[in-house]
Amino acid sequence: MNDTNFDGRARKFADNIYGTSKGQVREAVLWHQLQQRFLPRLKAGTPVLDAGGGQGQMARRIAAQGHPVLLNDLSEEMLAMAQSRAEQAGLAQCFDYQQGAIQSLPEQIAAPYAGVVCHAVLEWSSEPQAVVKALSECLAPGGVLSLAFFNHLGAEFHNLVAGNFDNLGDAMTSKKTRRVRMVPHTPLKNEQVIGWLEALGLTVEHQCGVRVIHDYLRDKSQQHTHLDRLIELELEYCDRHPYREMGRYTHLLVSRPA
């Protein structure tokens, strides 16, 4: 197992991802999906597992809604940042922390969770299918999983419109054509991930795209000057076919039959 560990890069990751318009759009769309489709399925006070939750941006939002959170991450540095920010937000009592690989979680948690969140992790894993299997084992009967991952089709289309013609198809995962260190190197195909989930007996209830507009704007300055309007449009178009297929990330709401 050779999953990416962000120790030593946590601050840079925060600046490059969460400190940008692309991070703000991603967070807005994912939080909208959680509010609309995930949290309403949970009883008040139901504990939630955030697997690979990093610095805890989404976990703090969930905790603020009254749900205790077990925040897991491979990076000790990420978890330290998450704990500090939870304390600053007055949410320290809502959190427990577990450092380690998601693949080890089924053996380490006391019982499966009714709510599991895993956002932007699969694309950094050397064994994404094993991560999906572990998430399935952490999900209780009748439970719901919020799963988001870097979308292969969106990555390929972005390279096409950017003129990166040597970085298409299988070449996108080749070390020879990797150009940006903080961009995930293993985008996943929607149909492949859905196939893995269904083979485990899970049901994919809903699919949407994340950043279906932002990254394709001709005038990049509008990512900042029109950010509020852009987020409104992202929320409007993220569920629509074919736009949802072109998002830089894909979000799936998944359930385990009771």
Q: Is the pLDDT of residue 141 over 90?
A: yes
Tokens of 140: 């209780």
Q: Give the residue, 142 or 10, on which the prediction is more confident.
A: 142
Neighbours of 203 (CB within 10 A): 12
Q: 80: which 2 tokens?
A: 């330290």
Q: What is the pTM of this model?
A: 0.91
Q: How far apart are CA 178 and CA 101, in angstroms?
A: 25
Residue 131 neighbours by CB distance under 10 Å = 26
pLDDT over 50 (residue 239): yes
Question: Domains plus CATH for the chain?
Answer: 10-150+188-255 (3.40.50.150)
Q: Which of 83-87, 116-120, 155-159, 175-179 has the lowest mean pLDDT?
A: 175-179
Least confident of 39-43, 53-57, 81-85, 158-162: 158-162
**Range of weakest confidence among 13-17, 113-117, 123-127:** 13-17
Per-chain mean pLDDT for the chain: 91
Min mean pLDDT across 56-60, 185-189, 253-257 is at 185-189
Q: How far apart are CA 251 and CA 33, in angstroms?
A: 8
Mean predicted confidence (pLDDT) in 5-22: 65
Element (H, E) at 95: strand 95-99
| Higher pLDDT among residues 16 and 246, named by residue | 246
pLDDT of residue 6: 55
* pLDDT of 169: 81
Closest CA to 208 of 37, 24, 17: 37
Q: Is the four-CA dihedral 153, 158, 159, 163 of positive or negative sign?
A: positive
Report the range of poorest mean pLDDT among 42-51, 56-65, 156-165.
Answer: 156-165
- pLDDT(147) > 80: yes
Residue 168 has pLDDT above 60, yes or no: yes
Rounded Cα distance between 49 and 82, Å, is 14
pLDDT of residue 177: 44
What is the end-to-end Cα distance of the chain in Å, rounded?
32
| Confidence at 174, pLDDT banded by 50, 70, 90 | low
**Structure confidence by residue, pLDDT tens digits, 183-238:** 677 899 999 999 999 999 999 999 999 999 999 999 999 999 999 999 999 999 99
What's the mean pLDDT in 117-122? 97
Looking at residue 47, its amino acid is: P
